[in-house]
Amino acid sequence: MNKQQFIEDDLKYIWRPFTQMKSLEDEKNKPIIIKKGKGIYLYDIDGNKYIDAVSSWWVNTLGHSNKRINKTIYKQAKKIEHVIFAGFTHEPVIEFSKKLVNMMNNSLRHVFFSDNGSTAVEVALKMAYQYQVLKGYPEKKKFIALKNSYHGDTLGAVSVGGIDMYHKLYKPLLFEIRQADSPYCYRCPMNCNKETCNCECLSSVENILKEEAQNIAGIIIEPLVQAAGGMIMYPAKYITKLRCLCDKYNILLIDDEVAMGFYRTGKLFAYEHAGIVPDIICAAKGITAGYMPLSVTVTTDEIYNAFYDEDIDGYKTFYHGHSYTAYPLALAVALENLKILEEMNIEEYLKPKIAKFSKELEKFKAHKNVGDVRQTGMICAIELVKDKNTKEPFSYEDGIGKKIYHEGLKLGAILRPMWNCIYFITPYIITEKKIEKLTDIAYTALNKVLPNEE
């Protein structure tokens, strides 16, 4: 099949995510046919190669076509590809769970499996509500979520989301929440200086709790980085203080680590930077290094034991699951991924790369349209503005992100800016030399769309 036929069939039969399909009639918006991937690169049908600067939706950590993981899939497929997880178990799920809990220092000890980040969040919300019921607080059925938040696309996950473009249409279908201010340091809701603030924006959460803690089951956050909201970054002390509030008002802290988990922030999970332990965490994306769908919702003895009962079919049972729960192929990959990361001594391995990104980000700061440059571990973001003094953003209609994306493709990188934000979430194996090349491409693309004035 030739390239033209590929494209025609794609557009005829496939409905793409987050895409106005009519826009694909424009030649420059036609999907790029990827033939293979290797390391940090993706190769298209025409032989062009692109640095995968967004890790293919933030999932790829060890690079494309990792030989060791390829071999793991083959070996596991020869043993057992899938088995019902009701009444049966298997070696990969046991070994993975044991290793993950040990890596978390046994702070959260019970692992519930699903297959994507949205579902991991659904599990956490249902688990938190049912826990409150079991503890004798059935009135605790609301959640607090933050503005600019994104927790997935199922209805429960959308209910706790805070991005109108994704969520507004579905509000009639959603359950009621309480929404607190986002800890958006560059655009602080309290007009504080991010260098000297004491997380005054957290008062928004406490004000809600003062009024109706008796009705609140928990609060859900994206730790350190609100990713889909525009790579909004905030200090770890916010989470430390939030943990104290949760304890004070007897609500659960749900930590959505779907995007941040598995060393994106430089540690296994982002909450570690805050020196606290959440009540529930949700993790996905990097869990299988980008190879297979898998997610986990991990919780404490306290929550797990509230469900533990002799009445097998009683209301203490957690009724949630799906056909591919604890999928053996995915678990074999996830286990191998953890082994590889451990052998790499990944925290130390990433430190020079994090430092290199920090150095390379300096060249963006003087650009007339760069309002803020921020970094958390291996996640970097450059927020673009019309005016540095007023922080006026570009409008959606300006299409700045799309223009930079297309310029990046010409130069050999998949940048895919979000809103007015250029960001980098690369595979961990990117070299310091390639970090320099990638940031040079991004700066050139930016300057092509928004020429810098001398």
Q: Is residue 255 within 8 Å of 267, Cβ to Cβ?
A: no
The 8-class DSSP code of residue 61 comes to S
Say how many C-beta atoms besides its own lie within 10 A of residue 118's C-beta.
21
Helix (H, G, I), strand (E, B) or coil at 11: helix
| pLDDT above 90: residue 1 | no
Domain ranges of the chain: 32-65+346-449, 70-343
Q: Which two tokens stand for residue 285?
A: 């994306």
Least confident stretch, 91-95, 161-165, 257-261 = 161-165
- pTM of the full structure: 0.96
Dmax of the chain from CA atoms?
74
Q: How many residues does the chain have?
A: 454
CA separation, residue 9 to residues 64, 301, 308 (Å): 26, 51, 51
Check residue 311 and give its pLDDT.
Answer: 75
Residue 425 in contact with residue 264, Cβ under 8 Å?
yes
Which pair of structure tokens corresponds to residue 110? 């019970």
CATH of 70-343, one of 3.40.50.720, 3.90.1150.10, 3.30.9.10, 3.40.640.10: 3.40.640.10
Of the pLDDT bands very low, low, confident and very high (cuts 50, 70, 90), residue 441 is very high
Domain 32-65+346-449 of CATH type 3.40.50.300: no
Give me the pLDDT at residue 194, please.
83
Mean pLDDT of 6-29: 92
Terminal C-alpha separation, the chain = 50
Provide the total of helices (H) and of strands (E) in the chain, helices listed first: 14, 16
Q: Which residue has the tokens 């007015």?
A: 420
Say how far apart CA 174 and CA 293 lie, in whole Å. Answer: 26
Q: Is 213 in a helix, a strand, or coil?
A: helix
Query: What pLDDT score does 34 carry?
Result: 96
Q: What confidence tens digit (pLDDT) does each residue in 302-344 have? A: 999 999 988 777 789 999 999 999 999 999 999 999 999 999 9
How confident is the prediction for the chain on average, in pLDDT? Answer: 96
Contacts 24+ apart (CB under 8 A), 312-317: 315/133, 316/134
- CA 88 from chain centre, in angstroms, equals 31
- Interval 225-273: pLDDT, tens: 999 999 999 999 999 999 999 999 999 999 999 999 999 999 999 999 9
Residue with tokens 């044991």: 98
- One-letter identity of residue 303: I
